Amino acid sequence: MIKPHGSDALIPLLVTDAAQREQLIAEAETLPSLTLSSAAAANAVMLGGGYFTPLTGFMNAADALSVAQKMHTVDGLFWPVPVLNLADDISDIQGAPRIALRDPNVDGRPVIAIMNVDAIDEFTAAQKDTMTEQVYGTLDPAHPGVAVFQAQGNYCVSGAIEVLNLSYFETEFAGTFQTAVEIRDDIAARGWQKVVAFQTRNPMHLAHEELCRMAMERLDADGIAIHMLLGKLKAGDIPADVRDACIRKMVDTYFPENSVLVSGYGFDMLYAGPREAVLHAVFRQNMGATHLIVGRDHAGVGDYYGAFDAQAIFDEVPEGALQIEIFSADHTAWSRKLNKVVMMREAPDHQPSDYVFLSGTKVRDMLSEGIAPPPEFSRPEVAQILMDHYQSESMAKAS
């Protein structure tokens, strides 16, 4: 199986020994504590599950700035996005060598991890802007990722952590949420060697389904891992439980048995376009995938990134820095001429009118009114789940 990034073996930071975990939970009650931001809590979950291998905790300021500017740590580890624990108030933890980290997303703010504090650095406004611009490509506060990052504090609390639980993901998404360790075990149990990963934060329409099928066939892959983000999204995005239901219905109905692994991971969406695409590749290598589909405007939002910037950035990845390979996909849509889904670059004789196109706004309006999109756009079983969701939302707003 493909090796994890920067390591011969995964480095999950979740404490799995029951006695050790109970001892750490008891210790946590005696320690100064810091309530994390949602972004930092998601980082802790990813560290716990092994997705951030070979990292052992939160980055310090020097590493974060180096990663933002050069895509590697001070010591030379290739990494595309800073992994930070940012705070706006450190009065309760100043001078403490060991602290408890509390989860902002669970009632009662239980301890999610214990940290050995290496340093507490303070970013200047200029340094924060530099990181923002390098990672997100913009300082526009209307960008949802920029808004979240800039709203976090300027104190950078760094150090190794021991993770005690995986937040709300284990309970709210039982059966879908998996650690990188669990996915590697699942891939091994299925006997797969060549595995294509598909990243999604949306329900999958027919074009997405066919893109997965194209990648599997062209790469002669043993299977595809549809890996959905389960953390925080921007307002208006489809909730994770609805996406999960849509994807499972599609897979159960239209894919052969034992050809698709459906799972999810506990991370908040960054909407960082090209940089996040590279981060997605790191996640997928760590979970055992050999290939990642990178399509049009991967991890993008609005008009902040070019359609294929997320593919072009992989040309900047140093040779040998990643083992996972990229399957570069064009925009896919139903061709009226050929009566099937095609990649547009492979249909040079087509005009825009030869494709079935529906804007996101148009689709949402149709679903809200109980009108299923055409079968050339969405499977009817998937459309029904989405119609039920949008109509229940409308009823809730009306009441």
Helices (H), 220-273: 240-254
In the chain, the N- to C-terminal Cα span, in Å, equals 53
The structure tokens listed for 397 are 């707003």
| Backbone conformation region of residue 382, classed left if phi is above 0, alpha if psi is from -120 to 50, else beta | alpha
**Cα–Cα distance between 218 and 349 in angstroms, integer?**
22
Residues near 169 by beta carbon (within 8 Å), at least 6 away in sequence: 45, 177, 230, 231, 264, 266
Q: Report the SS3 class of residue 263.
A: strand
Catalytic residue numbers read 201-202
**Cα–Cα distance between 352 and 169 in angstroms, integer?**
41
Q: Residue 304: phi, psi to the nearest 5?
A: -75, -20
| Backbone conformation region of residue 215, classed left if phi is above 0, alpha if psi is from -120 to 50, else beta | alpha
The structure tokens listed for 307 are 């359609």
**Cα–Cα distance between 212 and 209 in angstroms, integer?**
5
The structure tokens listed for 182 are 């669990």
- How does DSSP classify residue 3? P
Beta carbons of 195 and 46 less than 8 angstroms apart: no
Beta carbons of 356 and 336 less than 8 angstroms apart: yes
